[in-house]
Structure 1
Amino acid sequence: MSPRKSAIETAATRTRIIECALTLASAEGLEGVTIGRLATELGMSKAGVIGHFGTKEALQLATLDAAVERFRARVPVRVAGADPGVARLARAFGEWIDSMADDEGNAGCFITSVATEFDGRPGPVRDAVLAALASWAGYVAAELRAAVEAGDLPGDTDVDQLVFELNGVALAAEQAIQLHRDPAAPERARRAIDRLLGR
């Protein structure tokens, strides 16, 4: 086997492990994903699974990184062509809400679920979740400032407060969709977002 082929196969196996971990963690929580369970699901040895990451924590971080990249591709990347400010934010939150309600077996928001799971547990996973959420809050704040500059929101808009309220709607939508199985939740959340954005 050539070194290049070996590297490609190694990367493909690592990706398979992370995808399996994402699926399991979406249903059972990130902490519930064990090396043994992954090995069984993938038909691999435990050593074969852990050999790609070194530790369970490294596997958790890689899984979270993959979820963050999936979120970026699903939300900010999809709406990049929209007008900055209110229009782009409304679409971004709409994409986020749609992703929570999808029926592909990974409904809900993986990142907010992990945030809840690890919010009281200091360590690298919690730090990584905080960084991801801070990045999103920064994105929302930048779009709100663009909306203020464009005159789409009042000049005295409290950007930090509005970021808090918009994210609060998304978190409420997550709970209504996942816990209550409320089919009206996505539309309710969109209406709340539109109201907050003055649409």
Structure 2
Amino acid sequence: MSPRKSAAEAQQTRERILERSVEVASLEGLDGLTIGRLATDLGLSKSGLLGHFGTKEALQLAALERASGMFSREVWHPASGTRPGLPRLRAICTAWISYLERGVFPGGCLFTSATFEYDGRTGPVRDLLRRQFTAWRHRLNSDIRTAVKAGDLPGDTEPDQVVFELNGVLMSLNHALQLYADPVAAERARRSVSRLLGTAPPD
């Protein structure tokens, strides 16, 4: 076997592990990611799986990074070409609601469940989650400030408060979809976003 082929096969195996890890974590939590469980699911040896990640914690961190890329593709990228400020905020919320409605992660938003799982702990997994959420909050905050400067939102708008409430609405939507399979939850979220941003409900 050529070194190039061997490296390509190793990368394919790593991708399979990460794909399954994200699925398991969304359904059973990051603590559900065990080397033995994944090795059995994927028909790999434990030593073979450990060769890719080394430890359970390294696997959890890699799964969160993969999930972050998926979230960006689903929520940020569709809105990234929209004019900064209120138009982009509306586009982000439209994509964010759609991402939850369509069940991109089989067990609902991985970041929402991981936050509940790890917010009271210490260590690298919590630290990464905090950095990911902080980066997202800053991105929303920036567009809110731009919207205020443009006069699209009232001058006394508190960006941090709007970010807090937007996150609350979308976390609540995830909860309503996953726990209750609420058929009107997405529309409730759209109405809440409309009130927060002072606009017509996003499509």
Q: Does TM, scored on the shorter chain, surpass 0.5?
A: yes
- Category of TM-score, reference length = shorter chain: over 0.9
**Stretches of structure 2 lacking an aligned partner (at least 5 in a row):** none
- TM-score, normalised to structure 2, is 0.94
**Residue identity opposite 1:157 in structure 2:** T
User: Which residue matches 2:180?
Assistant: 180
What's the CA shift for 1:129?
0.5
- Looking at structure 1, the residues matched to 70 and 107 of structure 2 have their Cα atoms a distance apart, in angstroms, of 13
**Residue identity opposite 1:87 in structure 2:** P
Matches within 5 A, 1:140-179: 140-179=140-179
Matches within 5 A, 1:67-82: 67-82=67-82
What's the CA shift for 1:193?
0.6
- Alpha carbons 1:101, 1:108 under 8 Å: kept: no
**Residue identity opposite 1:50 in structure 2:** L
- Alpha carbons 2:30, 2:114 under 8 Å: kept: yes
- Looking at structure 2, the residues matched to 146 and 106 of structure 1 have their Cα atoms a distance apart, in angstroms, of 35
DSSP 3-state at the match of 1:75: helix
Structure 1 moving runs of 4+ over 4 Å: none
- Looking at structure 1, the residues matched to 91 and 110 of structure 2 have their Cα atoms a distance apart, in angstroms, of 20
Inter-CA distance 103–155: structure 2 relative to 1 (3 Å threshold): closer
**Stretches of structure 1 lacking an aligned partner (at least 5 in a row):** none
**Residue identity opposite 1:48 in structure 2:** G
What's the CA shift for 1:104?
5.6
Question: Is 1:114 equivalent to 2:122 in the alignment?
Answer: no
RMSD: 1.2
- Alpha carbons 1:99, 1:108 under 8 Å: kept: no
User: Which residue matches 1:95?
Assistant: 95
- Looking at structure 2, the residues matched to 105 and 72 of structure 1 have their Cα atoms a distance apart, in angstroms, of 13
- Looking at structure 2, the residues matched to 59 and 105 of structure 1 have their Cα atoms a distance apart, in angstroms, of 17
Residue-by-residue CA offset, 1:47-104 (whole Å, 9 max, x unaligned): 1111100100000000000000100111111111222212211221221121112146
Provide the aligned length of Structure 1 versus Structure 2: 199
Residue-by-residue CA offset, 1:111-162 (whole Å, 9 max, x unaligned): 1111111111111000000011001100100010110111100122111111
DSSP 3-state at the match of 2:32: coil
User: Which residue matches 1:8?
Assistant: 8
User: Which residue matches 2:60?
Assistant: 60
- Alpha carbons 1:29, 1:113 under 8 Å: kept: yes
Question: Is 1:138 equivalent to 2:138 in the alignment?
Answer: yes
- Alpha carbons 1:85, 1:146 under 8 Å: kept: yes
**Residue identity opposite 2:198 in structure 1:** G
- Alpha carbons 1:99, 1:107 under 8 Å: kept: no
- Looking at structure 2, the residues matched to 86 and 175 of structure 1 have their Cα atoms a distance apart, in angstroms, of 26
- Looking at structure 2, the residues matched to 123 and 14 of structure 1 have their Cα atoms a distance apart, in angstroms, of 24
- Alpha carbons 1:170, 1:189 under 8 Å: kept: yes
- Looking at structure 1, the residues matched to 26 and 2 of structure 2 have their Cα atoms a distance apart, in angstroms, of 36
Inter-CA distance 69–193: structure 2 relative to 1 (3 Å threshold): same
